[in-house]
Amino acid sequence: MFELDVRSRKPIYEQLIDNIKELIVTRVLQPDEKLPSVRHVSKELTINPNTIQKAYRELERQGFVYSASRKGYFVAPIDWISNQGKLEEMKEQFQPLLKEAIYMGLTKKELIRWFEEAEKEGGEAGDSGPESDQNI
């Protein structure tokens, strides 16, 4: 079901996250559909159950799936997933702050540094590399 690249430097739980996000966003996995169980994936990929759990938990935290205790993990409803509108709202919040900061000398470079810092401390898992433009 999922694919891993063993020679990638990206942690496998992150690979799982990206992998599953992709399947959800492309509707290969439908809302309320059950994800393969932690142990099932564990056996299939011969990795530890906790690694899958970590991925599932992170996906839950990000709102892509929900868990029904002791029943399994399920794909979240559409409206949960499409935060797109909220991102646009966010942008409106950012704009005035950004303008002021730019006025004070904020550079693109520095802003990127802030981004990476926030990324590291807080939420997201993605590597956000040169090409992965993971919109949801």
Q: Considering CB distances under 5 to 8 angstroms, the limit depending on partner class, which of a second copy, DNA, none binds residue 109?
A: a second copy
Closer Cβ to a second copy, 44 or 89, answer by number: 89
DSSP label at 34? B
Interatomic CA distance for residues 94 and 115, integer angstroms: 13
Residue for token pair 């966010």: 90
Interatomic CA distance for residues 75 and 28, integer angstroms: 11
Q: By CB under 8 A, is residue 106 in contact with a second copy?
A: yes
Q: By CB under 8 A, is residue 122 in contact with a second copy?
A: yes
Q: By CB under 8 A, is residue 26 in contact with a second copy?
A: no
End-to-end CA distance of the chain: 21
Q: How near is the Cβ of 2 to a second copy at its closest, in Å? A: 21
Closer Cβ to a second copy, 46 or 93, answer by number: 93
Q: Considering CB distances under 5 to 8 angstroms, the limit depending on partner class, which of DNA, a second copy, none binds residue 35?
A: DNA
The one segment of 19-27, 30-38, 87-95, 103-111 that binds DNA by CB under 7 A: 30-38
For 37, the token pair is 């169980």
Instruction: By CB under 8 A, name the binding residues for a second copy.
Output: 62, 83-84, 86-87, 90-91, 93-95, 97-112, 114-119, 121-129, 131, 133-136
